[in-house]
């Protein structure tokens, strides 16, 4: 049996009405003939957008086919039993040159009923923020369906939403049901459940290249929204060198930050799951495989002990699932 190694994947580029140029100018990724790039999908099991391996002996194979071949050796036995050949997380980079729509995502129960897919809980790590950039994260107060509907009908929905000024390095956790939007001038790394279900509530009356407004999902959103004020807007975390700094712990994913300036031996023997590494600063190697700013790598579950070696300093997000 050939030993598994850290996997890298071909980037999938997505042009968006609100997309910009930072995918090229900041991350150094060439999105070809697209007018802009709003999102890159770096690791995806979404049907029709499944990632392709680009390194090592398995280059050219689709992630879904590789999971079917390696099963628990790649995902972890419990993870494979739960998710099968469907990779459970989606990793993106997002460049908002303009505000995204005000939106909400359904939870697992509603998404399964309506779309036969998982819900969408997500988190954002702010890779870069223009001066004055902000985002929307939930309501400014506890509300209810009737009050929300009144604000919406009167064109005052933005008055009910919490706007937060944002700085590089901050983290925001957004459970399914949280009304939110990414504001213009923000570039983020996003970790989310494998789902592409978005209900647009308000889109600032924008039109596309053909002069058409984008579809809204006002009624669908009502059943998805959590009308409570968030208990926490921003995730607090320590950033201690050469150790694991927990950021998010949820039923859907766990995420840590690693800031490394010397060789670090990682021991993940207590974890029966794949590990995803997102390069958010600097460069280096994970188990001998290079990773740089803006790259994403998948370490198989069967890799339990390995070395991370920075060139000078390497900053990573590490994410996995604990069932």
Q: What is the 3-state secondary structure (H, E, C) of 192-226?
A: EECCCCCEEEECCCCECCCCCECCCCHHHHHCCCC
The pTM is what? 0.97
> pLDDT at position 207, please?
86
Nearby residues of 54 by Cβ (< 8 Å), 6 or more positions away: 8, 9, 10, 60
List the one residue out of 105, 106, 102, 107 whose CA is nearest residue 152: 102
Nearby residues of 289 by Cβ (< 8 Å), 6 or more positions away: 5, 6, 8, 55, 297
List the one residue out of 182, 234, 172 whose CA is nearest residue 39: 182
Tell me the CA distances in angstroms from 322 to 82, 101, 273, 274, one per residue in order: 12, 32, 7, 10
> pLDDT at position 2, please?
62
Count CB neighbours of 34 within 10 A. Answer: 15
List the one residue out of 53, 39, 45, 41 whose CA is nearest residue 12: 41
Full pLDDT tens readout for the chain, 323 residues: 468 999 999 999 999 999 999 999 999 999 999 999 999 999 999 999 999 999 999 999 999 999 999 999 999 999 999 999 999 999 999 999 999 999 999 999 999 999 999 999 999 999 999 999 999 999 999 999 999 999 999 999 999 999 999 999 999 999 999 999 999 999 999 999 999 999 999 999 888 888 898 999 999 999 999 999 999 999 999 999 999 999 999 999 999 999 999 999 999 999 999 999 999 999 999 999 999 999 999 999 999 999 999 999 999 999 999 98
> pLDDT at position 190, please?
98
User: What are the structural domains, with CATH classification, of the chain?
Assistant: 7-222 (2.60.120.10), 245-320 (2.60.120.10)
Q: Which residues of 212-237 are buried (b: 16+ CB within 10 A; e: fewer)?
A: eeeebbeebbbebbebeebeeeebeb
CA 170 to chain CA centroid, nearest Å: 14
Instruction: Name the residue with tokens 């223009």.
Output: 130
Q: What is the DSSP letter of 19?
A: B
Rounded Cα distance, 199 and 176, in Å? 11
Instruction: Name the residue with tokens 């308000």.
Output: 202
Rounded Cα distance, 16 and 37, in Å? 6
Rounded Cα distance, 274 and 272, in Å? 7
Tell me if residue 178 is catalytic: no
Residues in the chain: 323
From 178, 200, 206, 290, active-site residue: 200
Residue 191, sorted as left (phi over 0), alpha (psi -120 to 50) or beta, turns out to be: beta
């Amino acid at each position: 049996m050939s030993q598994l190694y850290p996997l890298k994947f071909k980037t999938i580029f997505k042009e968006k009405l609100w997309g910009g140029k930072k995918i090229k100018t900041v991350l150094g990724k060439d999105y070809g003939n697209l007018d802009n790039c709003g999102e890159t999908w770096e690791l995806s099991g979404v049907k029709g957008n499944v990632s392709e391996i680009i390194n090592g002996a398995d280059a050219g194979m689709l992630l879904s086919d590789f999971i079917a071949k390696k099963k628990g050796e790649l995902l972890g036995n419990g993870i494979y039993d739960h998710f099968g050949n469907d990779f459970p997380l989606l990793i993106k980079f997002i460049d908002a040159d303009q505000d995204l729509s005000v939106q909400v995502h359904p939870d697992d129960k509603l998404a399964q009923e309506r779309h036969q897919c998982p819900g969408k809980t997500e988190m954002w790590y702010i890779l870069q923020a223009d001066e004055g950039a902000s985002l929307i994260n939930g309501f400014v107060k506890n509300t209810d369906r009737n009050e929300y509907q009144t604000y919406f009908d009167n064109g005052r929905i933005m008055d009910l939403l919490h706007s937060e000024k944002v700085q590089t390095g901050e983290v925001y956790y957004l459970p399914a049901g949280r009304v939110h939007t990414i504001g213009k001038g923000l570039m983020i790394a996003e970790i989310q459940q494998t789902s592409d279900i978005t209900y647009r509530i308000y889109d600032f009356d924008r039109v596309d290249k053909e002069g058409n407004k984008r579809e809204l999902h006002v009624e669908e959103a009502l059943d998805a929204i959590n009308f409570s004020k968030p208990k926490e807007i921003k995730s607090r975390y320590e950033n201690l060198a050469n150790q694991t700094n927990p950021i998010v712990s949820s039923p859907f994913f766990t995420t840590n930050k690693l800031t490394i300036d010397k060789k670090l031996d990682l021991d993940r023997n207590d974890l029966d799951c794949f590990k995803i590494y997102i390069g958010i600063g600097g460069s280096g190697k994970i188990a001998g495989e290079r990773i740089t700013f803006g790259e994403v790598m998948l370490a198989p579950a069967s890799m339990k002990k390995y070395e991370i070696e920075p060139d000078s300093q390497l900053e990573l997000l590490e994410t996995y699932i604990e069932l």
